[in-house]
């Protein structure tokens, strides 16, 4: 079959790889009909996540048709049209029973490795197409994919919804939603979202659904700011003026009630601190550049919440702990509990409260994905979200 494979920094290729097969009785094989490039795939593309091996199949946002099932599958059936949760959960362990699916104890065989223990203490669940730190599972930017614990990870898609309306239930919609829910939004609240990429856009949409009075988007990419404004957000272009001062001005000097860091480890931006971070990153003294996180902590009001859906992979420097303590902040973060949120969000999509396809800017074929990675990485052509339809 054809698949998109990783070969090194900024080197992804369309390749012929062996078809996946049922390995475990709980597996299913899904023929992919639509897949996408996630912002977090760019962390792999740019070589920020260790433990990738040449030839690894990428992709954790995908949906399609079940074409084969293992003997222990009870729910999923051949012919089902499903969207697959991007992290893999067994549904039976101590964590899964508490609905802490992203902490599943049974799906990340890398969890006991020394590297993972040193980096994380306890590792989370496996993730499709996301390095050997997360189990080394082949991803869904491919014609077929093996889905472990398919009864738990597959969500049936009703026929009235298109692939484009359902695809994002496997990752970025629940991620944006949990980020907003973590803000404990109350009537009258102002929520500032750093990073207006796809997850940031879903965080904004979700903050509005959850009753935020005002949502403020901070980014520097014109297409992203325009999409945020189209959603009804107030926008701040971080290239023009001081972001923290603008946020103070908009909130009577108090600061937003909650700030969401939808940027994560690879933050760009200007300033001497960032140059210093980049140097330390190059020397492997620091792995992540927490520019947006620092700004979120400094901007948020006293007693406010900082919610972090942006992915971090290792260590950060110059974390403003004094500000976080002095302001009495609540901070919430982590891999999304996709399995918990996706069914209720599917109901919202069915009720026409939201059409998740609003973030899509580019539609290509599987063969075009290597070029699309480049375009997405360089934010060319107004690119916010690329999906690939497979025929």
Minimum gap (Å) between residue 86 Cβ and Zn ion: 6
- Binding to Zn ion (CB under 5 A) within 241-270 occurs at none
Choose the stretch contacting Zn ion; rule: CB under 5 A; options: 13-21, 104-112, 215-223, 242-250: 104-112
172: nearest Cα among 61, 259, 88: 61
Report the DSSP pairing between strands 87-88 and 126-127.
antiparallel
Minimum gap (Å) between residue 205 Cβ and Zn ion: 17
What distance, in Å, lies between the first and last C-alpha atoms of the chain? 13
- C-beta of 87 vs 251, nearer to Zn ion: 87
- Binding to Zn ion (CB under 5 A) within 191-220 occurs at none
- C-beta of 106 vs 131, nearer to Zn ion: 106
Q: Judged by CB under 5 A, does residue 40 bind Zn ion?
A: yes
d(CA 132, CA 126): 9
Minimum gap (Å) between residue 12 Cβ and Zn ion: 16
Minimum gap (Å) between residue 107 Cβ and Zn ion: 7
SS3 of 109-130: HHHHCHHHHHHHCCCCCEEECC
Residue from the set 36, 96, 267, 359 that interacts with Zn ion by CB under 5 A: 96
Residue from the set 93, 250, 324, 331 that interacts with Zn ion by CB under 5 A: 93
d(CA 364, CA 383): 12
Query: What angle do the packed helices 272-282 and 291-299 form, to 10 degrees?
Result: 140
Q: Which pair of tokens denotes residue 157? A: 């898609």
How many residues bind to Zn ion according to rule CB under 5 A?
9
- What stretch of H or E contains 81? strand 81-84
- C-beta of 173 vs 194, nearer to Zn ion: 173
- C-beta of 106 vs 251, nearer to Zn ion: 106
- Binding to Zn ion (CB under 5 A) within 150-189 occurs at 171
DSSP string, 227-260: HHHHHT-EEEETTSS-HHHHHHHHTTTS--SEEE
Asked if 139 contacts 148 with a C-beta cutoff of 8 angstroms, the reply is no
Q: Judged by CB under 5 A, does residue 104 bind Zn ion?
A: yes
Q: Judged by CB under 5 A, does residue 225 bind Zn ion?
A: no
- C-beta of 70 vs 170, nearer to Zn ion: 170
What is the strand order of the sheet 56-57 is part of? 11-16, 2-8, 56-57
Instruction: List residues near Zn ion by CB under 5 A.
Output: 38, 40, 89-90, 93, 96, 104, 106, 171
């Amino acid at each position: 079959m054809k698949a998109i494979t990783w070969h090194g920094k900024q080197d992804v290729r369309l390749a012929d790889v062996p078809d996946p097969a049922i390995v475990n009785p709980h597996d299913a094989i899904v023929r992919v009909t639509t897949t996408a490039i996630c912002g977090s795939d760019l962390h792999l593309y740019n070589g920020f996540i260790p433990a990738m091996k040449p030839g690894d199949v990428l992709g954790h946002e995908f949906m399609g048709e079940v074409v084969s099932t293992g003997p222990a599958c009870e729910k999923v059936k051949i012919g089902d049209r499903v969207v697959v949760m991007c992290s893999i959960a067994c549904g039976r362990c101590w964590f899964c029973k508490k609905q802490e699916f992203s902490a599943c104890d049974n799906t990340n065989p890398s969890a006991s490795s020394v590297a993972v223990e040193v980096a994380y203490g306890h590792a989370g669940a496996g993730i499709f197409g996301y390095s050997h730190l997360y189990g080394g599972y082949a991803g869904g930017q491919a014609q077929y994919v093996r889905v472990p614990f398919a009864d738990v990870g597959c969500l049936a898609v009703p026929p009235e919804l298109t692939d484009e309306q359902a695809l994002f239930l496997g990752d970025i919609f629940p991620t944006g939603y949990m980020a907003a829910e973590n803000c404990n939004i109350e009537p009258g609240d102002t929520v500032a979202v750093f990073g207006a990429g796809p997850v940031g856009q879903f965080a904004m949409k979700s903050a509005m659904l959850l009753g935020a009075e005002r949502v403020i988007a901070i980014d520097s990419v014109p297409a992203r700011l325009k999409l945020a404004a189209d959603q009804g957000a107030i926008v701040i272009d971080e290239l023009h003026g001081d972001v923290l001062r603008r946020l103070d001005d908009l909130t009577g000097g108090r600061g937003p009630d909650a700030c969401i860091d939808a940027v994560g480890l690879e933050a760009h931006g200007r300033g001497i601190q960032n140059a210093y971070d980049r140097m330390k990153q190059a020397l492997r003294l620091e792995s992540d550049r927490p520019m947006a996180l620092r700004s979120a902590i400094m901007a948020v009001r006293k007693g406010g919440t900082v919610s972090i859906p942006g992915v971090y992979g290792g260590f950060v420097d110059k974390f403003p702990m004094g500000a976080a303590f002095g302001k009495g902040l609540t901070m919430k973060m982590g891999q999304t509990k996709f399995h918990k949120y996706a069914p209720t969000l599917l109901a919202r999509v069915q009720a026409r409260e939201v059409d998740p396809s609003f973030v899509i800017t580019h539609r290509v074929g599987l063969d075009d994905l290597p070029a699309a990675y480049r375009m997405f990485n360089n934010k060319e052509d107004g690119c916010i979200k690329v999906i690939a339809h497979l025929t």
